[in-house]
Structure 1
């Protein structure tokens, strides 16, 4: 646990320095966010806010994690490195998406089909890695019931679905200042505690590094945001969250700790399906659901607080169900 705390502090310190250094660079390069034309009116003033701040989160987390990593294990079995590779793979997809948006000058990067191809290949590779890992395999834990569930060969397609769903859900949740950052900070703290309880110190170091990096980035991303993480950051976070849960053999806890990520996707799917079936009617004023709350007159800072508090409660419930 002490190693995790030191890792968190290193990541926080590195993140603060990187955030201060990168902000003027992003301004100079004119890496500004293009706001979706149908976004709530309050978001229009955010046009041009520097994006791709996810590089700050990634840089801080990677530096801290590599400093504190235990290199006594064979590299291919090192869970920390596996989590970072998974997160970086998703970061690359997000980075290309962000750069495409910046070059085109509008809020439209890679096509959904292009994203899905890259995400599916990455999900397949990581699912196979976990399947053959001696400490992971194809058996998962069922929280609260404290039993194991052997998925056999079905582990790979099921985990692929969970990976793609979680990373895209994290991306959708990144719609308000500080929202994904705040929720993720709580998630990674919870995952670090679970790693400590499972004697997976190396993976716990990775989760602590992500928590510290998110804490540092929040100083630049809280309302009013000076910097957005972009798809670069949201995909990195989504990849790290799902990788940690899988390596813990606890992917089912994502229903609780990633509740608002999943609700973002679910509300989007419900909205689109209902819109098509009813020829133009809507259930929500706008999807994902955090924009619905916003259009109901709730200020985004209150929405962020509500999301963070409910996530913390769900994380405590998760700990009670697993430990």
Structure 2
């Protein structure tokens, strides 16, 4: 398969998102599917209240349509492609229910943590059953080396942790206009390059499809955002990036390429531990992007800075995954 296939998939998914977004945004507005802003968040965000949310539907649909084109036109519906679609759509559905409840209640509270966890675990379980079907090995390599660990029975636990951590970490990053769309496009683009170079063609095409869909969505999500992706989009993207890392046997590479998501999550963990143990906060607000906002940075400056940091992590991941492997 030629490299131009990646470009075609990228443009196809980008076009799908750009075409679908103007159709969905007025529809979401008519349904009054507006975002509820949490009161404890930065005061500058209150003006965003009512902005259409659940735009992640556009992202998931664009990925689905492009995946169908991949399955029928460039490749075939391999089990790997089906599993990637399962996780992306499944986690997207969990996010959709969460978003819908928030809109219906007109409050920034959707599914409870336990309800969301159950949904995520069910999808993770189905994903693992699929992995058993294709006989994925339980060896985890250390990026850039010939070393690794045979996890055996512990590997299913790693899969569950990766899917839960990945989806929630990406979800935490979705807090500013264009922040997740930009960092997500960079991370998925990096995985597409590494997967293609190491022979995981289906994962590379799927990663490229997501990159295009997110970039197309970014046209409408960049500051000032006309639409938010909501949990529908963020959970779908988080599940997808973890599933791609697992299927390409780059489990630990997720920490590198998804460095921004890791940092955002760590900032929340540090903040919670510090406040519970000492009564003091390390950051003005977590996740980390809010700290910089409250430090006087403009929203656009925070977003672009995080994009640049994401690019550094992506380049590191490509270097390790392509040239050192």
Q: Which residue is equivalent to 2:302?
A: 303
Q: Which residue is equivalent to 1:316?
A: 315
Equivalent residues in 2 for 1:93-172 (5 A)?
93-134=94-135, 136-172=136-172
Q: What is the alpha-carbon distance in structure 2 between the residues aligned to residue 164 and residue 211 of structure 1?
A: 21
Q: Which residue is equivalent to 2:19?
A: 17
Q: Which residue is equivalent to 2:50?
A: 48
Q: Which residue is equivalent to 2:293?
A: 294
Q: Check whether the contact 2:53–2:227 (CA below 8 A) recurs between aligned residues.
A: yes
1:120 CA displacement: 2.1
User: What does the per-residue CA deviation read over 1:249-305, in whole Å, with 9 as the maximum and x for residues that have no partner?
Assistant: 001011111112122222112111211212x42111001111011100111111111
Structure 1 pair 72/44, CA: closer, same or farther in 2 (3 Å)? closer
Equivalences, count: 320
State TM-score, norm by structure 1. Answer: 0.95
Structure 1 pair 148/69, CA: closer, same or farther in 2 (3 Å)? farther
State TM-score, norm by structure 2. Answer: 0.94
Q: What is the alpha-carbon distance in structure 1 between the residues aligned to residue 131 and residue 179 of structure 2?
A: 30
CA RMSD of aligned residues (A): 1.6
Q: What is the alpha-carbon distance in structure 1 between the residues aligned to residue 221 and residue 41 of structure 2?
A: 19
Q: Check whether the contact 2:171–2:238 (CA below 8 A) recurs between aligned residues.
A: yes
Q: What is the alpha-carbon distance in structure 2 between the residues aligned to residue 301 and residue 131 of structure 1?
A: 44
Q: What is the alpha-carbon distance in structure 2 between the residues aligned to residue 5 and residue 72 of structure 1?
A: 12
Q: Secondary structure at the match of 2:61?
A: helix
Equivalent residues in 2 for 1:214-233 (5 A)?
214-233=214-233
For the pair 1:35 / 2:34, whether they are aligned, the reply is no
Q: What is the alpha-carbon distance in structure 1 between the residues aligned to residue 72 and residue 83 of structure 2?
A: 13
Q: What is the alpha-carbon distance in structure 2 between the residues aligned to residue 4 and residue 80 of structure 1?
A: 15
Q: What is the alpha-carbon distance in structure 2 between the residues aligned to residue 291 and residue 145 of structure 1?
A: 36
Q: What is the alpha-carbon distance in structure 2 between the residues aligned to residue 2 and residue 28 of structure 1?
A: 40
Q: What is the alpha-carbon distance in structure 1 between the residues aligned to residue 237 and residue 159 of structure 2?
A: 17
Q: Which residue is equivalent to 1:181?
A: 181
Q: What is the alpha-carbon distance in structure 1 between the residues aligned to residue 162 and residue 235 of structure 2?
A: 14
Compare 59-68 and 206-215 and name the one that shifted more.
Answer: 59-68
For the pair 1:84 / 2:85, whether they are aligned, the reply is yes
Q: Which residue is equivalent to 1:60?
A: 62
Q: What is the alpha-carbon distance in structure 2 between the residues aligned to residue 15 and residue 118 of structure 1?
A: 26
Q: Secondary structure at the match of 2:18?
A: helix
Structure 1 pair 71/217, CA: closer, same or farther in 2 (3 Å)? closer
1:320 CA displacement: 1.5
Q: What is the alpha-carbon distance in structure 2 between the residues aligned to residue 298 and residue 146 of structure 1?
A: 43
Q: What is the alpha-carbon distance in structure 1 between the residues aligned to residue 312 and residue 257 of structure 2?
A: 9
1:147 CA displacement: 3.1
Q: Secondary structure at the match of 1:48?
A: coil
Q: Check whether the contact 1:80–1:205 (CA below 8 A) recurs between aligned residues.
A: no
User: What does the per-residue CA deviation read over 1:235-259, in whole Å, with 9 as the maximum and x for residues that have no partner?
Assistant: 0110111111110000101111111
Q: Check whether the contact 2:98–2:231 (CA below 8 A) recurs between aligned residues.
A: yes
Q: What is the alpha-carbon distance in structure 2 between the residues aligned to residue 250 and residue 236 of structure 1?
A: 19
Q: Secondary structure at the match of 1:251?
A: coil
1:113 CA displacement: 1.3
1:116 CA displacement: 1.4
Equivalent residues in 2 for 1:189-200 (5 A)?
189-200=189-200
Q: What is the alpha-carbon distance in structure 1 between the residues aligned to residue 126 and residue 319 of structure 2?
A: 32
Structure 1 pair 310/146, CA: closer, same or farther in 2 (3 Å)? farther
Q: What is the alpha-carbon distance in structure 2 between the residues aligned to residue 288 and residue 165 of structure 1?
A: 15
